[in-house]
Structure 1
Amino acid sequence: MTDRTTLLRPPPEDPNKAQIENALDVTELAVLGPNIFTNTRQPWHPPGARGIYGGAVIAMCLAAAQRTLASDFLVHSCHCYFLLAGSSELPILFHVEQVRDGRSFATRTVQARQRGRCIFTTTISFVRDSSFSSSSSSDTTNEDGISKKEEHKELAVRHASEIPRGEDGQPLRPPPDDYADEPELVAQGPFQGSPMTLVNRNSSKPGEKKTRQWVRARGRITGGQAAQLAALAYVSDSYFIGTLTRLHKLWRFPFRAEDLDELPSDLKEKVTTLHRWEGMGDDPREMVGRPTIGMMVSLDHTIYFHEPTRVRADDWMLTEMESPWAGDGRGVVMQKIFAKDGTLLATCVQEGLVRLQQPASENKESKL
């Protein structure tokens, strides 16, 4: 008997939903117990990766947890650990535990399991959306005619990072709505993106560099705010820990940069396209002599959703990534995600395992 990628036969994709919504759909398995879900469709396994795309697991865990809550609760933080590489050839079971249900906050933990082993775990906190409050609830005004609710809002602590500015001093602007300039090599999957920009590319200090890219889900998300938030969670893992390869100018392909000219022309063109797309420069041969990545694996991932009601993942969002620290075989990357109007939607942090390929030692002596 061959392994199945899903427990149940996947239904046809809903043409009224965005591609990302179909990809992140989860199915409840009440027959196995309360609050157990499974992936409806096969998750994506990036070429060359050890396992399935981590953003898909994060987002499906979030989607499963949201199914155990009323619609007026929206995620505000998500703390995740990647434990084992997930297989795209096996079904995933999402076990949701209802840790706490309060009047304003609710907490869920979710374990993603394959063959009885936990491959991923997350704790997710939700906050009740105040806009769902009954409009008939009593509210009084002060002597200036300002409602108590508005007065309370004005007294709240509030600030946010501003969207980065370009060389002209103006806030960065997104690509046009009809943007379609992605190379075919990267124009796949449920998200669309612009070429990546590497700020301070020539700096000798990796901590001074930043990557920036505009992204948006393809099509229109129709599943409400929970679907928009799951989509943001999905894309938050894209290029994340890999930022270190760009900040440190590390070679990441499975052959030496010195051998680029010996490759078949079509493969050479693909490498050059990816090199440019990721903001590394026009010519991959500039990487000759640079260190090579031996292993890079995400360890943990945190998302703080600052403005959950304002997330529109099917509209342009700007991602900005930088790294405050790397050492001891690990690295930390921080990410800010802005709406195109400048709203800071989310802040994300990821730590990953980062090991360089060590040069082969010469004149090894036999241990015999």
Structure 2
Amino acid sequence: MANSTLFDPPPLDDSKAPIENVLELTPVTDFGQDVFTNTRPLWHPPGARGIYGGAAIAQSLSAAMRTVPADFAVHSMHCYFVLAGDSAIPIFYHVERVRDGRSFVTRTVQARQRGRAIFTTTLSFSRVNSGGEKMLEHAVLKPGVPLPSSPSSEPGGGPFEVVKAGIVNRNGEPADKKIRYLFRARGPISSAGGYQAHLSALAYISDSRFIGTVAQAHELARFASPAELRKFLNALKNPSDLDDEDIKRVLAELKEEEAVDLRHRLQGHLDRAEEEKSKLQPGAANENKTPQIGMMVSLDHSIYFHNPRAFRADEWMVSEMESPWAGEGRGLVISKIWARDGTLIATCTQEGVVRLKQESKI
């Protein structure tokens, strides 16, 4: 039987935040100077084809940062999800030192399983304070979203706390909607992890609910029935950052989220019922069924880190997601992330496959 890690995982380090334990890497010197592997099993989310993509993003970033001088900080990474990652076997992260310049450093990372690339990313690092004394500066302002008043994370649960913060233009066109979340790592993140641990944590959470924004903008349910939820639960493998109670909590949150969206959709359908009924022609009923998501998979993911040392991932951050385009069975989403003090710390983009269930032809 395959093992989910190359080496037996050490005990959890209580001096570190849960996300630090989740993302811990182990060097594999027998394979090369810049090869690393996941220290602990990785999470396979409900309904996903493989491991949570944010883990591959964050661990690739962490691996690359280990090969870069301390006075350089990442400013961008561009990722492609090539194959679904299998949580039942180890992942090997191979870092290539592409270029070391005076102002910029470039790295590529390939995450591999069974000798094949499942994920690849190119990262660029810039020397800290290399912009000069005079610089052009501007940034989008943080939305006026009230932050929770709790001073610190409660123990237990997954590595992040996530709170829905509303939808702007909820009754508007899909391209005009903005979906907001608040999130923070359950912490505190250790001082030993340095600012790199906060960057890796941000990279991890940046993939959460991202391509799902396309479905939300169209008010389409991800889960069509309790039976589908049960199927997704059965698909869970090696949920290292979730215990049984956490899994139940995740499913409860998903059910509640679906219920809220369903109520909103039903109200809209009721408002249009008479109008739609009058337009229906004999034999056209099947053409007016509410569409359902058939497949939703991330293809690529980019992060622009604007202020890599100006935030803490264990403090509340604000995310605002929008989808400017969907078509050809794909969708594009843009996310902006602000720190608690209003600093714009990252802009992310993601494109993914978003296909509807097709009616079977008789």
TM norm. shorter chain > 0.5: yes
Report the equivalent of 1:13: 12
Length-normalised TM-score, structure 2:
0.83
Q: Distance in 1 between matches of 2:310 and 2:338?
A: 10
**What is the letter of the counterpart of residue 158 of structure 1?**
E
Match of 1:241 among 183, 207, 211: 211
114-123 vs 100-109, greater mean Cα deviation? 100-109
The 8 Å contact of residues 50 and 84 in structure 2, kept in 1 or not, is answered as yes
Question: Could you tell me which of 150, 170, 190 is aligned with 2:159?
Answer: 190
Whether the 8 Å CA contact 1:301–1:350 is kept in 2: the answer is yes
Please report the RMSD computed on the Cα atoms of aligned residues, expressed in angstroms. Answer: 2.5
3-state SS of paired residue (2:90): coil
Q: In the alignment, what sits opposite 2:68? A: 69
Unaligned residue ranges in structure 2 (runs of 5+): 228-247, 270-288
State the structure with bigger RCO (CA 8 A, min sep 6), 1 or 2: 2
Q: Percent identity?
A: 54
**Greater Rg by CA:** 1
TM-score by length of 1: 0.81
TM-aligned CA deviation for residue 340 of structure 1 = 1.4
Q: Which has the higher helix share?
A: 2
Indicate the residue corresponding to 2:186 in structure 1.
Answer: 218
- The reply on whether 1:176 has 2:149 as its aligned counterpart is yes
Letter in 2 for 1:84: L
Check 1:180–1:232 CA distance in 2 against 1; reply closer, same or farther (3 A cut).
closer
What's the counterpart of residue 22 of structure 2?
A: 23
Indicate the residue corresponding to 1:318 in structure 2. 318
Structure 2 residue 258 is the aligned partner of structure 1 residue 275: yes
Distance 1:23 1:271, change over 3 A: closer
Give the AA of the match of 2:138.
H
Q: What SS does the aligned partner of 1:195 have?
A: strand
**Deviation of 1:126 (Å):** 0.9
Q: Residues 178, 359 of structure 1: CA spacing in aligned structure 2 closer, same or farther, 3 A cutoff?
A: farther
- Contact 2:221 2:261 (C-alpha < 8 Å) held by counterparts: no
Q: 1:212 to 1:270 in 2, by over 3 A?
A: closer
Secondary structure of 1:48's counterpart equals coil
State the distance in 2 between where 1:11 and 1:336 align. 36
Q: Where do residues 340-355 of structure 1 align in structure 2 (5 Å cutoff)? A: 340-355=340-355
Q: Is the 8 A contact 1:236 1:348 kept in 2?
A: yes
C-alpha separation between the residues in 2 aligned to 1:304 and 1:231?
15
Deviations 1:28-83 (A, max 9, x none): 11111120100000111101111000000000000011111222221110000000
**1:68–1:269 Cα change, 3 Å:** closer
SS in 2 for 1:227: helix
Deviation at 1:214, TM superposition (A): 0.6
- Trace 1:1-368 onto structure 2 (pairs within 5 A): 2-130=1-129, 152-153=132-133, 155-164=134-143, 171-178=144-151, 188-203=157-172, 205-222=173-190, 223-255=193-225, 272-275=255-258, 280=261, 282=263, 289-361=289-361, 364=362
Q: 1:173–1:340: 8 Å Cα contact kept in structure 2?
A: no
